[in-house]
Amino acid sequence: MIKKSILIENKSAITSKNLQLVIKSEIRESIIPIEDIGFLVLDHQEIYISLPAMNLLVETNTSIIICGKNHLPNGMFLNLNSHHIQQEIFKNQIEASIPLKKQLWQQTIVEKITNQGILLQRITSKNNSFEFLASKVLSGDTSNMEGVAAQQYWKSFFEINFKRERFGDYPNNFLNYGYAILRAATARALSGSGLLNTLGIHHKSKYNAFALADDIMEPFRPLVDEKVFEIMQQYEEQELNTKIKSELLQVLTRTVYFKDEKSPLMVALQKTASSLQQCYTGKRKKIKYPKLWNLTPTE
């Protein structure tokens, strides 16, 4: 079942009753089964949520995302006891060899650059060199082909004079919101597979509690880029309003493709996270990343 993504932007009181989430605002009262919720985004400075409600949400592996005054996600709550052999998984993850992590990062960047190239070709109808760039990625991406690809990618992606910045103006605000949601979804999937989000395969910082999510989300970023591009074609708004945020949340239910099946991104991330866990135990050699587009002749 596809979990719901709930966005709350009004002054509200959130409690729980009979395993259901009760959301009371000045306008209306809504009741939603907690087991149906995958993501709860809280985007108002006067939202109250009870501790019992929060506990029930995290127990069902719901990600609670809180936004700051700038309306961008700046924190999240995750279930820390979501897997029955978590200690064993932590041990395998901590003891993972440097060659393994370099190999996994190489695969991840190859997937990212490949996806960037496919998306760029889809929106510009022009051939590009991203397949060649992907073929040049070394173990650990020591030659920084990710950076080389990024320069070409953003230069060609938007018709406007664009500079990709974490805290930049439009359309950076759309991209940043979409990436934050993708990061939360990735962290949720990794936590659900018993993995430690703070221990990345490439990203390393004592200040980053979600280094692994930042690693694994990389090949999925073009899905956010694609959605932002579509929004810019459809709407004139440059502010991050309710309509835009709702559009960006739809990325979580976007269909992606594995070899023998297709699934919503939210579900696919769980498969990817599970495959990473198996890489740490030696059961797999590669992470199971989906194809973001169905490129078969029958598309």
* Binding site feature residues for Mn(2+): 146, 203, 218
Structure tokens at 65: 């995302």
Backbone angles phi, psi at 141, to 5 degrees: 50, 50
Please give the C-alpha separations between residue 102 and each of 96, 106, 287, in angstroms, as whole numbers. 10, 6, 13
Burial of 44 (0-12, 13-18, 19+ CB in 10 A): middle
Annotated binding-site residue numbers: 146, 203, 218
- CA 49 – CA 42 distance, rounded (Å): 10
Q: Is the separation of the CB atoms in 85 and 178 below 8 Å?
A: no
